[in-house]
Structure 1
Amino acid sequence: MPKNLKITITFENYHIVKGLRVQNGELYINDQRLETAPPRAVMNNFINFLRPGPVTLIAHNGNRFDFLMLLAEVSQLGLMQEFRAVVCGLMDTLPFLKKKLPERLKTKQSFSQSILAKDLVGADAAVGAHNAIADVRMLEMVLQNIGVTASELNTHCQAVTLQSKITADSETARTKLNRCTLDCLKGNVSTGMLTKMARANITLSKLKNIFADGAEGGIKMLLGIDVNGRPRVTKNQKITQAVVNALKSST
């Protein structure tokens, strides 16, 4: 398989990618029909393309887009073991470049890949934005232009392993689920405190069970117990009482 081949993986939310559309069961980009294949076959081809590995996948704003979609698809297809055998890390160049270009961040200039390419490389560098191959080349030119070394990339990549990314995504998903169960406490308890409780893996069911067994004292202990030298959530009596009042009104 040629090394310059870009395997395009499409998802159900294809419409968020500029120029993509589906008509009569066929996929088009800018009115040009694309050849498609079953998702599992495409993903297997992609993994084979990356072999023997280990490789680090790099994308601009990948933590909020590319990596989320890619990992979700790999997991859904049951290919995570094969994927992890060749991919050792994921690197999002957005936070990396924000650290690398502090003056640009300070003046609140855009960090979109196409704008970075125009500003740092030249207008022609941004031609073909949102095309897979063009985006890869564009990012490479940006990194080269500001003098990013292979050593810098390797150092950053080592801190963002595939396992740490999977773990972080799992924790984020768990927090969102926990947070949803606590919505009925809104009004009595601040949004920030509800989120903090969700991150501590506290759900409405857990609160109700603790309250039923230990009343106010149980809630105080649940929220205030020390974890690594800090309260699990809070020891503030006013906040604890607000949680208790919310539980009383919800039962």
Structure 2
Amino acid sequence: MVNGKAVETETIDSAVSKFLDWLKFYKKVILIAHNGKNFDFPVFMTALASVNRASEFCDIVIGFVDSLPLLKKIFPGQSSYKQENLVSNLLAATYGAHNALEDVRSLGWLIKHEKVTDKHLQDFTFSPEAVKNQLAYNREKNKNIESLHPLIAAGVMKMTTAQNKNSHGQARVTCCKKTLNTVIPSLCEFFDKQNSS
């Protein structure tokens, strides 16, 4: 359903095939999305991986650009960096926000703004492989965090510490006496309680 109307659906595999066939007509493809680094690109790379087409995609698409940080750099001081607000404030235009086709068109208008240069686009381009690597990193980061939940629940470790520990695969060692005097007794107490139960 889109706007209360039933729409025809397509399998991910079929949609990806059609999209890749269309992209093949172009050379050195760079895809742009607003807030793409946090949303569109990870979702899309996950979909590609689910149908085993990520490598083929990476052969066609050489880069991604997230227009959100790009436009923040070029147009500092905006009251909002939502795409519809940028279109209104920078282009004095309105459009049907959250309509896929209108969103794409309006992003095109923003990217074609005279202040957005090829150099800006180049500076904000990152590879699809970077997104694949970030997704793999996030999977690893979250894989072992379950084992730390008892320490978090007991107040021995904060969630941020557990996440940082897992993002690097190992705990950070400190020589700060205050930290050592707090953490080591807490860990000892926790494990003593575990052993006595």
Query: TM-score if structure 1 supplies the norm length?
Result: 0.67
Q: 2:133 aligns with which of 167, 182, 197?
A: 167
Structure 1: which 4+ aligned runs deviate by more than 6 Å? none
Q: Find 2:72's aligned residue among 88, 98, 104.
A: 98
CA pair 116-236 structure 1, distance change in 2 beyond 3 A: same
Aligned residue among 175, 179, 184 for 2:145: 179
Could you tell me whether the CA contact under 8 Å between 1:188 and 1:242 is conserved in 2? Answer: no
> In structure 2, what is the equivalent of residue 34 of structure 1?
7
- Alignment size in residue pairs: 188
Change (3 A) 1:49 1:188: same
Aligned residue among 159, 164, 168 for 1:196: 164
Counterpart in the other structure of 1:11: none
Alpha-carbon offset, residue 156 of structure 1: 2.1
Provide the secondary structure at the position in 2 that maps to 1:78: coil
Tell me if the contact between 1:185 and 1:246 (Cα under 8 Å) persists in the aligned partners. Answer: no
- Residue 144 (structure 1) aligned with residue 146 (structure 2): no
Q: Displacement, 1:31? A: 3.8
Matched-pair contact (CA < 8 Å) for 2:66–2:124: no
The alignment's C-alpha RMSD in Å is 2.2
- Larger RCO of the pair (alpha carbons < 8 Å, separation 6+): 2
Deviation at 1:94, TM superposition (A): 0.7
Q: Helix, strand or coil: the match of 1:128? A: coil
Inter-partner Cα distance in structure 2 for 1:74 and 1:237: 49
Q: How many angstroms apart in 2 are the aligned matches of 1:64 and 1:96?
A: 14
Partner residue in 2 for 1:77: 51
Give the SS at the match of 2:37. Answer: helix
Cα distance, 1:57 vs structure 2: 1.2
Deviation of 1:183 after TM superposition, in Å, equals 2.3
How far is 1:128 from its partner? 1.4
Secondary structure, counterpart of 2:112 in structure 1: helix
Q: Check conservation: 1:223, 1:240, Cα contact below 8 A.
A: no
Between the aligned partners of 1:32 and 1:168, the Cα distance in structure 2 is 36
Query: Any conservation in 1 of the 2:96–2:103 contact (CA below 8 Å)?
Result: yes
Separation in structure 2 between the aligned mates of residue 99 and residue 180 of structure 1, nearest angstrom: 38
SS in 2 for 1:40: helix
- Match of residue 4 from structure 1: none
Q: Among 51, 59, 64, which residue is 2:38 paired with? A: 64
Of residues 90, 93, 99, the one that matches 1:131 is 99
Q: 5+ unaligned residues in a row in structure 1: which ranges?
A: 1-20, 22-28, 203-221, 225-233
* Separation (CA, whole Å) in 1 of partners of 2:88 and 2:70: 18
